[in-house]
Amino acid sequence: MASAFFFIAFIFLITLKLSPVNGAPNCGPIVADETDRIQFALNLEFLEAEFFLNGALGHGLDSIEPSYAQGGPPPIGATKANLDPQVRQIFEEFGYQEVGHLRAIITRVGGIPRPLLDLSPQNFAKIFDEAAGFKLNPPFDPYLNTLNYLLATYVIPYVGLVGYVGTIPNLSKKSSLSLVASLLGVEAGQDAVIRTLLYERAEEKVLPYDITVAQFTDYISRLRNSLAMCGIKDEGIIVPLYLGAENRTDSNILSANTDSISYARTPPEILRIVYGTGNEHVPGGFYPHGGGGNIAMSFLKKA
């Protein structure tokens, strides 16, 4: 009798340990200092600055504001993308905007050294393979053409956006709130532009793959949801009706919840996504050595 009880209890415990059910342990708020919360965003701002500037211009932050990197290493594998003139112009502007965001944060709360960033085609290819669920042949190259670059940028500002939304409830100083709300405004604008450009081409096949633009956005959003392990907070540009605005449309140019307000993510959720490991303690993906600042580094120490 007793042994049967212990056996059942044992199975129950194993099940608990093995199933990260609806994010029970890891979706809640974290305790952190206000400055650290804002500096955490620098990780994503560096990533965006380098990917946009390099993609549009063929050179990055070090040729524009080298002091902002605070001695951090240059990114791996970033290169000029083969873009049409209009899209190139858009990302040149977005790249400069990221330089401004870095300055806004650095001058108000102080900076952190730029973490090592992996912007190589191989890293993107790996993300796109994981998103698609099989090895794409040839490997996905974000720098190959306008459409590929747009799909690659779909991967980035949205994560910054939901991170800012998640940060705001935990800020108390007016100066912090106003800074983060103002950064959020522009990140949301960038994400909307990228999603609109992709929506215009939603049904187009991303050659040479037999996968449409809309399907790729869906795959990437699903991958991010599964890495973050906190439910649906990320949606592609075409969705089932139950995820569309008021359940009345399957177009989904902006990703938002049932009330059409933005999803929010915590720093651990964001790290699980951008590391590509599903584990905030295990670096990888865009950040081979992990993120910078006290929040990201405190998780690394506990690896």
Ligand X SMILES: *[C@@H]1O[C@H](CO)[C@@H](O)[C@H](O)[C@H]1NC(C)=O
> What is the closest distance, in whole angstroms, from the C-beta atom of residue 256 to ligand X in the complex?
12
User: By CB under 6 A, how many residues form the interface with ligand X?
Assistant: 8
* Nearer Cβ to ligand X (82/170): 170
Question: Least Å distance between CB 194 and ligand X?
Answer: 26
Distance of alpha carbon 37 from alpha carbon 64, whole angstroms:
26
User: To 5 degrees, how large is the angle CA 93–CA 99–CA 103?
Assistant: 140
Q: How far, in Å, CA of 104 to CA of 164, rounded?
A: 14
Distances (CA, A) of 36 to 12, 182, 217, 263: 38, 18, 31, 21
| Position 29 contacts ligand X (CB under 6 A) | yes
Which amino acid is present at 75? P
Report the distance separating Cα 154 and Cα 237, nearest Å: 10
Residue with tokens 């951090």: 72
**Between 186 and 225, how does the x/- string for binding to ligand X read (CB under 6 A)?**
----------------------------------------
**Which of 71, 107, 246, 302 touches ligand X (CB under 6 A)?**
246
Which residue, 83, 77, 238, 75, is CA-closest to 149? 83
Letters for 254-293 (x = contact with ligand X by CB under 6 A, - = none) are ----x-----------------------------------
Candidates 247, 251, 257, 260: give the one binding ligand X (CB under 6 A): 247
- 216 touches 176 (CB < 8 A): no
Instruction: Tell me the window of 102-110, 151-159, 239-247, 267-275 that interacts with ligand X (CB under 6 A).
Output: 239-247
Could you tell me which residues come within 8 angstroms of residue 303 by beta carbon, excluding any fewer than 6 positions away? 281, 282
Residue in 242, 261, 301, 302 binding ligand X, rule: CB under 6 A? 242
Nearer to ligand X among residue 127 and residue 183 (C-beta): 183
Q: Which of 50, 118, 72, 125 is nearest to 275 (CA)?
A: 118
Residue 60 tokens read as 């990055």
Kindly state whether residue 249 participates in binding ligand X, applying the rule CB under 6 A: no
Binding mask 121-150 for ligand X (x = CB under 6 A): ------------------------------
State the minimum distance, in angstroms, from the CB of residue 249 to ligand X.
Answer: 11
Strand partners, 284: 287
Query: What residues pair up with 118 in beta bridges, in sequence order?
Result: 76
Nearer to ligand X, 67 or 251 (CB): 251
Span interacting with ligand X, options 68-76, 193-201, 242-250, 272-280, rule CB under 6 A: 242-250
- Segment near ligand X (CB under 6 A), from 113-121, 151-159, 173-181, 240-248? 240-248
Beta carbons within 10 angstroms of residue 28's beta carbon: 10
Rounded to a whole number of angstroms, the minimum distance from the CB of residue 280 to ligand X is 17
Estimate the crossing angle of helix 34-57 against helix 293-301, to 10 degrees. 100
Which 145-174 positions form the footprint of ligand X (CB under 6 A)?
Answer: 169-170
31 binds ligand X (CB under 6 A): yes
List residues binding ligand X (CB under 6 A). Answer: 29, 31, 169-170, 242, 246-247, 258
